[in-house]
């Protein structure tokens, strides 16, 4: 079993799988869209997310749209 933590944001991987702080499995691309892409250069250089620098994932804007759509349906 391998464990890895990001020294920048504290993200945690177990055997290559990202886990959110809730304990649920997460997506490297989503973490990248939410956090890694927004890092200043000096921190981005220390990021250990394998998806760092890639396109894709569900970021803050997409999550806000999903929430708004859900609220409109109430």
Q: Is 44 helix (H, G, I), strand (E, B) or coil?
A: helix
Grade residue 74 by pLDDT with cuts at 50, 70 and 90: low
- What is the rounded average pLDDT for all residues in the chain? 94
pLDDT range class, residue 71, cuts 50, 70, 90: confident
Q: Identify the H or E element spanning 17.
A: strand 17-19
Q: Which of 47, 22, 21, 17 is nearest to 32 (CA)?
A: 47
Residue 72: band (very low, low, confident or very high) from pLDDT cuts 50, 70, 90: confident
Q: pTM of whole model > 0.75?
A: yes
Q: Has residue 73 got a pLDDT over 90?
A: no
């Amino acid at each position: 079993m391998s464990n890895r933590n990001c020294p920048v944001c504290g993200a945690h991987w177990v055997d290559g799988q990202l886990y959110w702080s809730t304990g649920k499995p997460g997506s490297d691309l989503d973490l990248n869209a939410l956090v890694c892409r927004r890092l200043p250069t000096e921190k981005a250089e220390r990021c250990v997310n394998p998806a760092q620098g890639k396109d894709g994932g569900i970021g803050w804007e997409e999550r806000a749209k999903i929430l708004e759509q859900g609220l409109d349906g109430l």
